[in-house]
Chain A
């Protein structure tokens, strides 16, 4: 970390203790979250007055045939599911990223870097191509693929001295990610000419455009329970920051707790990928920025990354659907435009530990 950045962080965490600003950060995040929910519904090709958003949320039923009726229909069938899916997926990616950085003791780890996203894509693509109906198959297939990928990377990156080397981690992640991407491409190739092919291609680009209430009903409980579990185990990550033996001396079984957290993070990420395709960099930059603002204590960091990830993805999606109107960009393009330079900047400035 650069000198100025360090001073910046020191000053911030100093303030955090002095003024209990962590509480204020969470209040601010909650206000932003509420605002994002409303603005996300308002913004779009058809603009919807804020008044109608509140009228919908309050459960008012407009008269048949009026323009309000159409606006309420847009809210309930298009905008709201999309914003909610964005919140859930962003929350999933943010908190998983924060968890993985803690588990691998490295700020460069993310669901993308460790190959989960690619593995989950392959699993979900297979589900689409095999034409398995039933909405639960998508997260299931994605979870199997994601677990396979992260399992391989985890085993490779663990060295004999049990410390995870950042280079091995990133290289193994890239290699495994490439392998799974190749499998996905091969699957698409095999399906050439069928309707399934377009489905998969659109899906792999990543986006929230296919949001519907059925998706939300499946994803919401997974993300909610998963996030709560990760937050419950967040202090184990603080212990793990002292090294595996350090964690052991604090009463934490390092291997058990790493496996559990990695497993839950994989489930949460894979399910998000299953419904929204691969959306990169949220899990990398959100935990990093939040750590800069509030310090590395995972008990506060993980809930903060969940909320901030949700806010960030909905805003990225708003940009994606308004910047080239009337067309729509896949949201993964927006997050990559923001995230990739940030990642390179981190690689350059961060003191990378072997």
Chain B
């Protein structure tokens, strides 16, 4: 499913958060939104998901304007894993994933065979099947993130939005999550995610957009977007971007000040 964004403006009250966003994301693409905290990444995702309504401009899912779709119709095509989701009550992992089937069930329906198969498939893909009967509150952060991903996949989405899916995760879990997402994208799922780890963007994203104070600075392949100049401008950080000798994908390495022309301590905050 393609996503098209035309001239989007959004503000919280008087404060403009997103300005003049034009973007087009293709089916099966992994699209990363990067930018510092407060640059509007989450707000952009929430506009795409329909939680927030733009002040100006339009968003389309396959030529249909999101504003014309009901909450129900959106949920049948689009799933989102928001940041820091909290589940109330002691649901088990399997129960949480089964809740992802709601958009495809009628009000009085119980879990049918198709539901069961999709739930089990999602659990297997995200390797949480061994956790099925554990309580969601009792598992680790990395496990919980995979459970929410499984719940989103059980929803059979055509578009998957992820807000910082790897935050607070150990490095092995980060790679695991990204691999699951990549496999789904190969099968045709359109993935849009806000990601602050630039190296994960370099490694996994097909394309990326860099947001600077609510405006799009650059859209393109990761190596076109994550340039030393762009990162310096948006993050105020000095980095070296280079190709990794083994993987041949490029990586971004932040520079500590003392390696960079020996500036005085007073300007150190620029780095932080």
On A, residues with C-beta under 8 Å from B are 1, 6, 9-10, 13-14, 17, 105-107, 232-233, 235, 238-239, 241-243, 245-246, 248-253, 291, 295-297, 299, 353
Contact = CB atoms under 8 A, between A and B. Distances in A.
A13 to B, nearest CB: 6
7 contacts: A6-B138, A241-B88, A242-B99, A243-B85, A251-B73, A251-B74, A296-B91
Interface string B51-92: 100000000000000000001111110111010011111111
Nearest to B110: A299
B54 to A, nearest CB: 16
Contacts of A291: 89-90
B134 A250 contact: no
B125 interface: no
B155 A105 contact: no
B177 to A, nearest CB: 18
Interface residues of B, number: 38
Contacts of B96: 242
Nearest to A237: B89
Given A250-B100, A250-B102, A251-B76, A241 B91 contact: yes
A291 B90 CA distance: 9
Contacts of B135: 6, 9-10
A85 B132 CA distance: 42
Contacts of B91: 241, 295-297
A17 B133 contact: yes
Given A10-B134, A249-B80, A107 B51 contact: no
B82 A246 contact: yes
Given A250-B100, A253-B71, A242 B85 contact: yes
Interface in B78-135: 78-80, 82, 85-92, 94-96, 99-100, 102-103, 105, 107-108, 110, 133-135
Contact of B99 (A1, A13, A14, A238): A238
B49 interface: yes
Nearest to B76: A251
Interface string B249-266: 000000000000000000
Given A245-B82, A295-B90, A296-B91, A10 B133 contact: yes
B90 A245 contact: no
